[in-house]
């Protein structure tokens, strides 16, 4: 048993030490800059296009429109899961994390880092035409209306989506289940 645990730990350390490296450019790229461009509208369209899965990694989450779209996706049968910064989720009075959890969306708090600052949304990441959404854009009203932010939507690059999903899962392993 100890030998098996040792081998498993060695494999995990070896895989964690390997960087993703360069990936071939493929698919399409959409870029939005707020407050001028409608980044939130692009996010909502992307969420509506989800067929099987949505993985969210959010530093802060207070956009009612995006929360509604994620809940609607879940009602359509899309598996929606979220990682979020615990401090932001529990201390930000505008956080909608409680509402998302109450709507049946599984949520985990990232607690390992001083700040879990990723802003990522993966749609159908294991399918033939995956979508990776990332950038500085927080899932908030202010990100669209008040801040200078960027949002990049990368479609059709399966190796990129796999790298992001693997990273999401690595963060999920270190996270703790939502608890009020």
Judged by phi (left if over 0) then psi (alpha if -120 to 50, else beta), residue 135 lies in left
Of 37, 117, 127, 129, the active-site residue reads 117
C-alpha pair distances (Å), 7 with each of 16, 76, 136, 170, 173? 14, 42, 38, 18, 18
Two tokens at 92? 């930000």
Of 55, 85, 124, 171, the active-site residue reads 124
119 catalytically annotated: yes
61 - beta bridge partners? 139
124 catalytically annotated: yes
Two tokens at 70? 């994620």
List of E strands, 14-148:
28-34, 53-58, 79-85, 107-110, 120-123, 131-135
CA dist., res. 107 & res. 110, Å (int): 10
166 catalytically annotated: no
Of 119, 127, 166, 171, the active-site residue reads 119
CA dist., res. 55 & res. 179, Å (int): 19
- Known catalytic residues are 117, 119, 124
């Amino acid at each position: 048993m100890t030998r098996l645990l040792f081998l498993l730990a060695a494999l995990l350390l070896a895989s964690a030490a390997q960087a993703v490296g360069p990936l071939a450019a493929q698919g399409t790229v959409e870029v939005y800059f707020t407050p001028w461009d409608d980044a939130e509208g692009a996010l909502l369209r992307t969420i509506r296009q989800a067929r099987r899965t949505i993985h969210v990694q959010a530093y802060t989450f207070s956009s009612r429109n995006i929360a509604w779209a994620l809940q609607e996706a879940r009602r359509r049968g899309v598996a929606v899961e979220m990682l979020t910064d615990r401090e932001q989720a529990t201390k930000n009075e505008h956080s909608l994390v409680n509402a998302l959890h109450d709507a049946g969306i599984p949520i985990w708090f990232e607690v390992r880092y001083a700040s879990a600052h990723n802003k990522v949304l993966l749609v159908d990441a294991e399918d033939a035409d995956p979508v990776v959404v990332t950038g500085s854009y927080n899932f908030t009203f202010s990100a669209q209306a008040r801040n200078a932010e960027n949002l990049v939507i990368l479609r059709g690059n399966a190796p990129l989506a796999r790298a992001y999903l693997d990273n999401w899962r690595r963060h999920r392993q270190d996270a703790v289940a939502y608890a009020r």
